[in-house]
Amino acid sequence: MGQNRILLELRAAAEKVIAVGAVDRAKNIASFSSRGPTLDDRFKPDICAVGVSIMAGSLPYFKYPEKEWLIYRVVSGTSAEAPMIAGAAALIRQAHPDWSPEKIKAALLTRAVQRGGGVNNDYGYGVADVLEALKGPKPTIALYTWKFVGGVPTFAEARAYAQRSPNPFVLIKGTWFTSDSYLSIK
């Protein structure tokens, strides 16, 4: 690790937490953005959003010497980009109320615009693309194994594998399945 790297905070290292990194408007990683890996060697942050020089709402404050009250200010940091990802997740949930939190997270991560050559400890899965995420998680390759009950194959177990997918989902005939779904064969 270089001396300018900022380590990931412990609370962002949890598996089910979406850790958010910061990029500028040109999608370059911000100097203050936390980087991975986690202590158990997982990639973090999960995703990035613009977090540099964001115009945000603020409590009213008096600006001197202009002598005027302002309700907006320019901010940079996790206080800027994390709410954007939370808002993106809320928009996806509104568009697809039947999706689980895991599916929303998978859609955000697998549909992100990759930066830095794939999943890495600077950008995670990439920079968020909410319009793409509305399509759902990127389909993965499914391999099927048979379950035998009394010597008769009765279930196919869908196992999804993909390098980019944190919680793989498989699209079969218009229905999304998780990697631990069981499909009955008739």
Query: Could you state, in chain order, the average pLDDT of each consecutive group of 10 residues for the chain (186 residues)?
Result: 52 83 94 86 90 88 84 85 94 95 90 88 94 86 52 48 49 58 52
Q: How many CB atoms lie within 10 A of CB 106?
A: 26
Asked whether residue 182 is domain-assigned, the answer is yes
Q: At what angle do helices 78-95 and 101-110 cross, to 10 degrees?
A: 120
Q: What SS3 state is found at 161?
A: strand
What's residue 49's pLDDT?
95
CB 48 within 8 A of CB 20: yes
Does 34 share its domain with 79?
A: yes
Does 129 share its domain with 146?
A: no
Does 29 share its domain with 55?
A: yes
Q: How many helices (H) and strands (E) does the chain have?
A: 3, 11
Does 143 share its domain with 112?
A: no
Asked whether residue 1 is domain-assigned, the answer is no
Does 81 share its domain with 100?
A: yes
pTM above 0.85, yes or no: no
CB 87 within 8 A of CB 9: no
What's residue 170's pLDDT?
57
Does 185 share its domain with 148?
A: yes
Does 26 share its domain with 53?
A: yes
The structural domain count of the chain equals 2
For residue 184, what are the CA distances in angstroms to 13, 65, 91, 146, 160? 37, 72, 34, 10, 17
Does 46 share its domain with 120?
A: yes
Does 53 share its domain with 111?
A: yes
For residue 105, give the CATH number of its domain: 3.40.50.200
Asked whether residue 11 is domain-assigned, the answer is yes
DSSP string, 75-94: E-SHHHHHHHHHHHHHHHHH
Does 106 share its domain with 182?
A: no
Does 48 share its domain with 83?
A: yes
Pairing mode, if any, of strands 141-149 and 182-184? unpaired
Does 160 share its domain with 94?
A: no
Q: What SS3 state is found at 50?
A: strand
The continuous run of DSSP H or E covering 104 comes out as: helix 101-110
Separation of alpha carbons 80 and 48, rounded Å: 11
The domain containing residue 172 runs over which residues? 139-186
CA torsion 92→16→18→14, rounded to 10°?
170
What's residue 93's pLDDT?
97
